[in-house]
Amino acid sequence: MNESEFNLLADAALDKIETACDACGVDCNRSGNLLEVEFDNGAMIIINRHDINKEIWLAAKSGGFHYAYRDGLWLSQRDNSELFTRLSELFSAQGDAISW
């Protein structure tokens, strides 16, 4: 995948996350390639597009994860989890639900 293809796919994923956060009422702020999600209890999730590695990086209290686009999904390099599934789990841990 070239850089342009990656940017389109990663930006679409960030747009999807931002839209879902807005729909479920969770505070979400985007600045370029960086998306900050803040919960009512002060917990945060940081998601960013990492252009050099062609990955989406996710940081939460439970750890950091790197997701690469493979076979139509954003999959973790560490545990093969899927980005949107992991985000749903992280939202649930904060007492919030997110719909994709």
Q: Assess if residue 24 is contained within a domain.
A: yes
pTM: 0.92
| 29 vs 79: CA distance, rounded Å | 27
% of the chain exceeding 70 in pLDDT = 100
Q: Assess if residue 63 is contained within a domain.
A: yes
Query: What CATH number is given to the structural domain containing 68?
Result: 3.30.920.10
Q: What pLDDT sits at residue 45? A: 97
Q: Assess if residue 56 is contained within a domain.
A: yes
Nearest alpha carbon to residue 8 among 69, 99, 78, 57 = 69
Q: What pLDDT sits at residue 31? A: 95
| 90 vs 45: CA distance, rounded Å | 8
Q: Assess if residue 98 is contained within a domain.
A: no
Q: What pLDDT sits at residue 93? A: 93
- Residue 87: domain span: 3-93
The number of distinct structural domains making up the chain is: 1
Q: What pLDDT sits at residue 77? A: 84
| 96 vs 26: CA distance, rounded Å | 8
Nearest alpha carbon to residue 33 among 65, 2, 56, 5 = 56
- Tell me the three state secondary structure of residue 40: coil
pLDDT single digits (tens) 24-47:
999 999 999 999 999 999 999 999
Q: What is the mean pLDDT of the chain?
A: 95
